[in-house]
Chain A
């Protein structure tokens, strides 16, 4: 009467070759995967990961038209942008060509296709370079800078932003110069170059204030707050965030407000103010609820909230929040963040002294390699895995995982995290 059992995701994915054409099917399969009903209260329930979820082939078949519709809509929008570019070309409206091509790139970015977005931006840049008006070129370079940042290509990103800044300044394009400064600050921040980030953000803030560009000034203040927290100047961080909040609270977009409060939560957590941090995250979630749906933003807040609960020893709440984050990631097609969720799940089990928690790290490593394809994430997972093993007294395995993490951070040229790993290796040997 109950029909055949669902197929486990790990088995379903093993049957699917790594073809780009199948990416939407893969995403659909993952998004409809549900925990096995029978396992929810079983002793393996607490260890459920994506791979252990189940899918019904008939449900996949039923949902396929929805996936086709989304693909069709995306392709239609891309084709439309291209035709518009062509029409602009026909009218000899080169800035229009650039604008249409950039729009196509943004559409690709929205669905996480960064490499494809870069191709559109490169074509747009080629057109823009031949123009007398340099503003389209400034914009194309900025778009390329951000897509490189998303792809982890920091040096290339910095080069694009530098060019964008030089052109904007030459053209007295203040908005372009502000945006390029912000981009350069973001690259420096991602690389852990605090001094550079400070200089670029401050410069951007001066320009934004001079131009009375309140939203951008608010964003730059938030970034300066992030930077100050990372540099452990917590008083300055609080001041920057307060100012950013004031700017956004008046009339700012809800997602920006959510971003500032998310950062405020991190700062409060750093200061050991758990209640304040929790309240900030809850309010951030409320702002995110008001903004257009953004699973990435919601996920980021929920992960911070879970980490806060974890650090405060509220393990039950941490687990509930992580399971909600898992659902947001799976339902919202953000499976790239699952590695981070499962790493936190593993840490939680470690805090409970539960050896079977290793299954979360194993799943996170698999996801970091196969889905997220991020060496940085893989290194972070190995680092956390080592601490988990060490906590359970398995020092040989802990050392092996720390060495693997160090090797991976080395390959990225990452200095800050590498030093942390090195320190733990020394402590383990002592």
Chain B
């Protein structure tokens, strides 16, 4: 049985206490052509309890200067005549400048603007004239977010795979390890299937390193990344002058992988013509360089990977059935991050340590809120997305604990309480629909196709509704 990953609060909490965070530093930025005078006056009046420190910038450029010079907790920005443009500009800018939270203020914010702001992780969108209680609610939300408990990072025992590592002890991953151990010792061709970011290349490397071809090279080719007209010469090589641009003789990846392993990633993206050539190489164990007449024998272990359903592709006539059976001698299916349970915590700890070391930081803990947010997120990009999020978070972290405000806005957006708006009022059907669509789009990371599938409507209908609601 796999022990549950337990995380207890750290004795030495690196997270500032609630009292320490009580004072909020706010930068008020006027909209273009406007003045922040009235707003500032109101805020200063409302700040008489001493828990707000307020300053102002007359326009965007001066605000950027002030943001570079000092640390702020909140930017209260009045959006101009083009609120959507202004909002995305602010989100973009704050992401790059120490990430204070944003409260956007607009004369009459549209539903589309509010939902877009929600998706981007904006703390709140308020309408002008500002109401004291609305603003106070937004600040209280920020203060409650700031109250976090530090949890020490759990111990992780990664299995090193060259520059990568296999991390995880969930039942789904244990099944993968068992299959990997059985198949690695042979020279059998392997097909690794799994969603994007589940670690197909790491598994392929692990098979290579534990197999009979381990002394040879591991050569990886991403078939989808390389333009179709170049893929053939990339795989099989070419002779000098074989085509325009063939300035030198090129040794292809099959030859580079001699006595080693050739990993063909995203194999489903290959044209049928090239699939035929790969089939010949697999069957005959020989290749010809482009523009060359010589037949070259190859001794290569082949591992292929895809995130597509190859059987479906065969039905649609986009993938050769004979090649499929040649490649899928053994099939390993990798679980999604959602299927791996507490591996999320182990992977998080592993990446925090990895990137802390890479960027010369000391990090010993993550906050309970970070953990909550990570657990609540829909990891469409699986481990790759998690790695990306943690790397960015470690880069912006300034203390020894990874806190919620180190996470990208998209993740923090999921905790903001914009969802309980409008206060006390009931939603119209259109508002409810727009809100639900936004939630599903956030869940699918903006993937319209996937969102349409969840919503049970055609993507064209979804596109039309998004346009209608200004999403």
Contacts and interface: CB of A to CB of B under 8 A. Distances in A.
Are A and B a genuine interacting pair, yes or no? yes
B400 interface: no
Contacts of B65: 279, 283
Interface residues on B, range: 35 or more
A316 B307 contact: no
A282 B227 contact: no
B27 to A, nearest CB: 13
A39 B445 CA distance: 12
B227 A363 contact: yes
Interface in B452-466: 452-453, 456-460, 463
Most buried by A among B61, B248, B307, B391: B61
A38 interface: yes
A397 B248 contact: yes
B89 interface: yes
Interface string B208-228: 000000000000001111111
Nearest to A398: B248
B450 A37 contact: yes
A43 B60 CA distance: 38
Interface in A381-430: 396-397, 400-401, 404
A400 B196 contact: no
Contacts of B448: 37
Given A283-B65, A397-B248, A41 B382 contact: yes
A327 B101 CA distance: 25
Interface string B231-275: 000000000000000011010000000000000011001000000
Contacts of A41: 196-197, 380-382, 384-385, 445
A169 interface: no
A41 B59 CA distance: 37
B247 A404 contact: yes
A318 to B, nearest CB: 12
Interface string B75-100: 00000000001100100110011000
Given A2-B449, A290-B60, A404-B247, A47 B225 contact: yes
Contacts of B452: 1-3
Contact of B391 (A46, A279, A316): A316
A362 B424 CA distance: 57
B265 A286 contact: no
Main secondary structure of the interface of A (DSSP, over half): helix
Contact of B64 (A52, A257, A286): A286
Contacts of A287: 60-61
A136 B22 CA distance: 66
B63 interface: yes
Contacts of A254: 61
Contact of B381 (A1, A40, A289): A40
Interface residues on A, range: 35 or more
B230 interface: yes
A282 B447 contact: no
A307 to B, nearest CB: 15
B32 interface: yes
Contact of B32 (A44, A290, A359): A290
A126 interface: no
Contact of A37 (B224, B228, B447): B447
Contact of A43 (B59, B201, B446, B459): B201
Contacts of A363: 227
Contacts of A285: 64, 89, 93
Contacts of B395: 316
Contacts of B247: 397, 400-401, 404
Contact of A10 (B223, B227, B459): B227
A349 to B, nearest CB: 10
A324 interface: yes
A356 B228 CA distance: 14
Interface string A309-343: 00000001100000010000000000000000000
Contacts of A20: none
Contacts of B181: none
Contacts of B453: 1-2
A283 B247 CA distance: 45
Contacts of B61: 254, 257, 283, 286-287, 290
A356 B384 contact: no
A42 interface: yes
A359 B224 CA distance: 11
B174 interface: no
A39 B456 contact: no
16 contacts: A40-B381, A41-B196, A41-B380, A42-B307, A43-B200, A43-B225, A44-B223, A44-B269, A47-B225, A58-B460, A279-B64, A289-B60, A290-B61, A362-B227, A363-B227, A397-B248
Interface of B: 32, 59-61, 63-65, 68, 85-86, 89, 92-93, 96-97, 196-197, 200-201, 222-228, 230, 247-248, 250, 265-266, 269, 307, 380-382, 384-385, 391-392, 395, 445-450, 452-453, 456-460, 463
Q: Which 8 A-B pairs have the closest CB atoms?
A: A41-B381, A47-B225, A44-B224, A400-B247, A42-B196, A286-B60, A44-B225, A37-B447
Interface of A: 1-3, 10, 37-47, 51-52, 58-59, 254, 257, 279, 282-283, 285-287, 289-290, 316-317, 324, 356, 359, 362-363, 396-397, 400-401, 404
Given A356-B222, A359-B226, 14 more contacts: A3-B452, A39-B196, A39-B224, A40-B445, A41-B385, A43-B201, A43-B222, A43-B224, A52-B225, A58-B460, A286-B60, A286-B63, A290-B32, A397-B247
